[in-house]
Amino acid sequence: MSFAAVNGIQMYYESTGSGFPVVFCHGAGGNHESWFQQVPEFSKRYRCITIDHRGFGQSKNASGQPNGEAFVPDLEALLAHLGIDQVAIVCQSMGGITGLGFTLAHPERVRALVLADTTGGVTDDEIRQLRESLVPPVQDRTDLLSRALGEPFQKQFPEKAKLYHEISGKNPPEGYQPGRNATNPPDLAKVAALKVPTLLLVGEVDKLAPPPVMELMLKRIPGSTLVKVPGAGHSVYFEKPEEFNNAVLGFLDEVVK
């Protein structure tokens, strides 16, 4: 168990393996344990750093402090604590706020960025209108979790869906509140000028960041690549770990020198 004193909180993280560091940023339904199907494979080639965002898992959020607005400063402070300069970042859903935010603030420090089922907070009129037509607003934690996994997965693997809920259940009740984790949208000019190699992934039946939305992201980030995973919902890393791992490791092996 490892904690780092970060911006007024004790931030929980785990470091596994050796090699170039890869930071995994979980979504609002997860925590550091969510990546149990990735770490054993990725750690054969990379140093895997899994974190609990403040207010999730074992990273308790200090009373009165911001939540989502602190994600990027928290990661900055954690990497300083670990003495790490350059990283690759793998994000899912809410974790895209952290990963893209850090990348835009420090592009020279990020060798590769993976945005899985997330826009990283990027929005404009076209994205906003499309999301409003496809994605009803998330009402609460129960609503979030009901959409976090694809319906085909939940029907075919009820025991794995239960495990997902058990991992999510380790988060404090206040960890997710609609609107609380929101941040100011990224600067569109900075997104359009991004030169960091970026891989976008999306589940074919994702109900929170559906493929048409991610296709717009493909146009927003120059040189990015989009992978659609058949049969997967919003949590490709959990539902289709082999496909997720193959796509992300292939990308990292190509761009992380």
Residues 139-179 pLDDT 10s: 888 888 889 999 999 999 999 999 999 999 999 877 766 66
| Neighbour-count burial for 2-28, b at 16+ CB within 10 Å, e otherwise | eebebbebebbbbeebeebbbbbbbbb
Domain-wise residue ranges, the chain: 2-255
Average pLDDT over residues 216-232: 97
Mean pLDDT in the chain?
94
Percent over 90 (pLDDT), the chain: 86
Cβ neighbours of residue 92 under 8 Å, at least 6 residues apart?
Answer: 25, 26, 27, 30, 34, 116, 117, 118, 235, 236, 237
| Among the ranges given (22-31, 135-144, 245-254), the one the predictor scored with the smallest mean pLDDT | 135-144
Cβ neighbours of residue 10 under 8 Å, at least 6 residues apart?
Answer: 3, 4, 59, 60
pLDDT digits over 60-116, tens only?
Answer: 887 766 678 899 999 999 999 999 999 999 999 999 999 999 999 999 999 999 999
Q: Which of 153, 7, 137, 140 is nearest to 70 (CA)?
A: 7
Q: What pLDDT, on a 0 to 100 scale, did the predictor assign at position 206?
A: 97
CATH of 2-255, one of 3.90.400.10, 1.10.1040.10, 3.40.50.1820, 3.80.10.10: 3.40.50.1820
Q: Is the pLDDT of residue 182 over 80?
A: no
Q: Which of 29, 40, 28, 27 is nearest to 14 (CA)?
A: 40
Q: What pLDDT, on a 0 to 100 scale, did the predictor assign at position 63?
A: 72
Residue 151, both tokens: 């319906």
Q: What pLDDT, on a 0 to 100 scale, did the predictor assign at position 86?
A: 98
List the helix and strand counts (H, then E) for the chain.
11, 8
Q: What pLDDT, on a 0 to 100 scale, did the predictor assign at position 177?
A: 67
pLDDT digits over 49-71, tens only?
Answer: 999 999 999 998 877 666 788 99
180 vs 233: CA distance, rounded Å:
24
